[in-house]
Amino acid sequence: MHEKDSKVEELKKRKEQILQGGGEKAVAKQIAMGKLTARERIIALLDEDSFHEYDMFVEHEARDFGMEGKVLYGDGVIIGTGTIYGAPVAVFAQDFTVAGGSLGSMHARKITKIMDYALRMRIPLIGINDSGGARIQEGVNSLAGYGEIFWRNTLNSGIIPQISVILGPCAGGAVYSPALTDFVFVVDNISKMFITGPDVIKSVLGEEISQEDLGGAKVHAQITGNAHFYAESEYECFEQIKKLITFIPWNNTRKARRFEPKDPKACYNIEEIVPGDPKQPYDVRDVIRAIVDDSNFFEIQEMWAGNIVIGFGRMNGETVGFVANQPLVMAGVLDVDSSDKAARFIRYCDAFSIPLCTLVDLPGYLPGIDQEHAGVIRHGAKLLYAYSEATVPKLTVILRKAYGGGYIAMSSRHLRADFVFAWPGAEIAVMGPEGAANIIFRKEISEAANPEEMRRQKVEEYKEKFANPYVAAAKGYIDTVIEPAETRKLLLHALEVASTKVSDRPFKKHGIPPF
């Protein structure tokens, strides 16, 4: 055998060994948990044969507590680059079969290396998390590793898209890397995220709760809002990630990929979706589907704070971010969670130059002791801040109700929306007719022979005069009143006009948003 050939043989042998990860037993355990292995995940996520791995030969650093004799292939994490529908992405995937995917200093250094790559090359970063947490044998070096990751997550934020996929445990400090990224994906029965796990809670509190009930996929998709996408299986999750990648740009200096423009599907008739009675619920997502190309609306955080709908669609082939009040859920009110949800999405779209389209139909803010005490003032302020600060094209369509503070918050002219359109049935007023009539005509109502009849009359009177779009239109607060059927045409035109928008703002280091 040639010497050169034997060297290649040796390389192949070394690689072969590393590809086994934690070995047969550990892999069998991973499969028994209903999980794919780290390598299977990367293959399923990326375009065929597109993955190229780096730092395969990295070895772990711990030399205490019996770790010196151990071999941890790749130190429990796989890093590399590949493509999704041809778009380049940087990937890391923690390998639970190698020392439980625990994070030691070399493991962290591999992750930070691929993060630096992603930033330098200005490509999206996808992190697959499946780790038991800090490698205790490596002590503070492990903590340092987490800190280095968090710092880079923050540095990369708003420059490249950062996506976290939780496919196993992600506990303790480790949860903060996903929390700092733009989109978090979870899978039922597989994802587990918490700061302190069930064991600690049991020993400190004596309270027993399962990992699933404490921080499973459903909890984060429905209750905490930590997750943006929920899937029943890992394969479904990868399809969601791929779809997301088609909607977002590679970095903040580029536009998302342009698709062939398509008309909305005929089954969504925009004239038939919104009931005339402002108290009748309907699904605002159908209005979005009646507007966007091919009726293809990709919703984000579908299961959390359903009273506001956020997500991506395309107009004339280009990505647009949609924010819409959802009358079907909580009557579409603004509250702590819906403000928080929309504000973060608006900032995402603004950072990546994705135009915003806001559909308005809300009765105002949710009244309640729990809301006030939960800080609806400061959380609600996030929405005002995000809209005010966003300089991407901002288009607003008032479908029905826009009362009071809710009117201002939902991308109004006053927060510098570029185009504000209203449907003929829109009611733009300082408050709803019933509330307003009760205040303005309090005396007349209380002194009337028949107060109920008088109240009804006064509500009607107020509705007649103010519950329409023309008072606001007379002041130029809305640009025009449009027929529902014209909505898509006008939005397409507005997007074209606004595509060269210039927005000068005074210099500042940064503002101080009400986080």
Partner 1 sequence: MTKIDINGNTHDTPKLNDSQLNTLAVEDGEYKTLFTPKFSGYKKWEQHNEKLIRAFIPGTIVEVFVKPGQPVKQGDMLLILDAMKMNNQVKSPINATVKEVNVKVGDKVSKGVDLVVLE
Q: Which is nearer to partner 1, 207 or 447 (CB)?
A: 207
Query: Which residues on adjacent β-strands are paired with residue 209?
Result: none
**Residue 307 is a binding residue for partner 1 (CB under 8 A):** yes
Q: Which residue, 199 or 207, is less far from partner 1 as judged by CB?
A: 207
Handedness of CA 257, 263, 264, 270 (dihedral sign): positive
Place of tokens 């280009």: 318
Amino acid of residue 140: V
Query: Shortest approach of partner 1 to residue 297 CB, angstroms?
Result: 7
Stretch that binds partner 1, among 46-54, 275-283, 352-360, 490-498 (CB under 8 A): 275-283
* 399 belongs to the binding site for partner 1 (CB under 8 A): no
- Work out whether 280 is an interface residue with partner 1 (CB under 8 A): yes
Q: What is the size of the binding site for partner 1 (CB under 8 A)? A: 50
Task: Give the angle 448-452-453 at the CA atoms, nearest 5°.
Answer: 75
| Size of the chain in residues | 515
Candidates 59-67, 130-138, 282-290, 484-492; binding stretch for partner 1 (CB under 8 A): 282-290
Which is closer to partner 1, CB of 402 or CB of 495?
402
Rounded to the nearest whole angstrom, what is the least distance from the CB of residue 224 to partner 1 in the complex? 9
Closer residue to partner 1 (CB): 370 or 483 = 370
Contact status: 245 vs partner 1 (CB under 8 A): no
Helix (H) or strand (E) holding 308: strand 308-315
Distance, in Å, from the CA atom of 104 to the CA atom of 146, rounded to the nearest integer, reads 9
Q: Considering the complex, what minimum distance in angstroms separates the CB of residue 283 from partner 1?
A: 6
Which DSSP letter does residue 208 get? -
CA distance 447 to 442: 9
Q: Which stretch binds partner 1 (CB under 8 A): 68-76, 248-256, 368-376, 387-395?
A: 368-376
Pair 198, 210: CB distance under 8 Å: yes
Which residue lies nearer to partner 1 by CB, 100 or 433?
433
Answer for the pair 108, 149: CB distance below 8 angstroms, yes or no.
yes
| Nearer CB in complex with partner 1: 58/333 | 333
Contacts of 207 (CB under 8 A, 6+ apart): 201
DSSP structure class, residue 509 = S
Choice between 281 and 375, CB closer to partner 1: 281
CA–CA separation, 137 vs 183, rounded Å?
A: 31
**202 alpha carbon, distance to own chain's centre:** 32
Residue nearer to partner 1 on the CB measure, 296 or 388: 296
Out of 76, 127, 178, 363, the only residue in the binding site for partner 1 (CB under 8 A) is 363
| Identified binder of partner 1 from the candidate list 1, 32, 267, 512, rule CB under 8 A | 267
Binding of partner 1 at residue 364 (CB under 8 A)? yes
369 lies in the site for partner 1, by CB under 8 A: yes
- Are residues 168 and 129 in contact, defined by beta-carbon separation less than 8 angstroms? yes
Q: Using CB under 8 A, which of 100, 306, 313, 425 touches partner 1?
A: 306
Strand 229-231 with 183-187, pairing: parallel
Residue 294 binds partner 1 (CB under 8 A)? yes
Which parts of 321-360 interact with partner 1 (CB under 8 A)? 327-333, 337
193 versus 273: smaller Cβ distance to partner 1: 273
Q: How far apart, in Å, are the Cα atoms of 192 and each of 35, 71, 111, 213, 215?
A: 13, 27, 20, 9, 5
- Give burial (CB, 10 Å; 0-12/13-18/19+) of 185: buried
Q: Which of 279, 465, 489, 501 binds partner 1 (CB under 8 A)?
A: 279
Chain centroid to Cα 270, Å, comes to 26
Interaction of residue 457 with partner 1, rule CB under 8 A: no
Query: Which range binds partner 1 by CB under 8 A, 149-157, 304-312, 376-384, 417-425?
Result: 304-312
Give the bridge partners for 15, in sequence order. Answer: none
- Contact track, partner 1, 410-449, x by CB under 8 A: ---------------------xxxxx--------------
Distance of CA 38 to the CA centre of its chain: 24
Per CB under 8 A, does 268 bind partner 1? yes
Long-range contacts of 59-64 (CB under 8 A, 24+ apart): 59/106, 60/99, 60/104, 60/106, 60/107, 60/135, 60/138, 61/104, 61/105, 61/106, 61/138, 61/141, 62/104, 62/135, 62/137, 62/138, 64/137
The least CB distance from residue 333 to partner 1, in Å, is: 6
Query: What does the per-residue mask of binding to partner 1 show for 198-237, with x meaning CB under 8 A?
Result: ------xxxx--------------xx------------x-
Shorter beta-carbon distance to partner 1: residue 365 or 419: 365
The CA distance from 286 to 300, in Å, is 15
Indicate whether 484 belongs to the interface with partner 1 (CB under 8 A).
no
Residue 249 makes contact with partner 1 by CB under 8 A? no
SS (H, E, C) 52-89: EEECCCCCCCCCCCCCCCCCCHHHHEEEEEEEECCEEE
Min separation Cβ 328 and partner 1, Å? 6
Q: How far is the CB of 201 from partner 1 (least distance, A)?
A: 8
CA-atom Rg of the chain in angstroms: 26
Per CB under 8 A, does 159 bind partner 1? no
Residue numbers at the binding site for partner 1 (CB under 8 A)? 204-207, 222-223, 236, 239-240, 243, 265, 267-268, 279-281, 283, 286, 289, 294-297, 304-307, 327-333, 337, 363-364, 366-370, 373, 403-404, 431-435
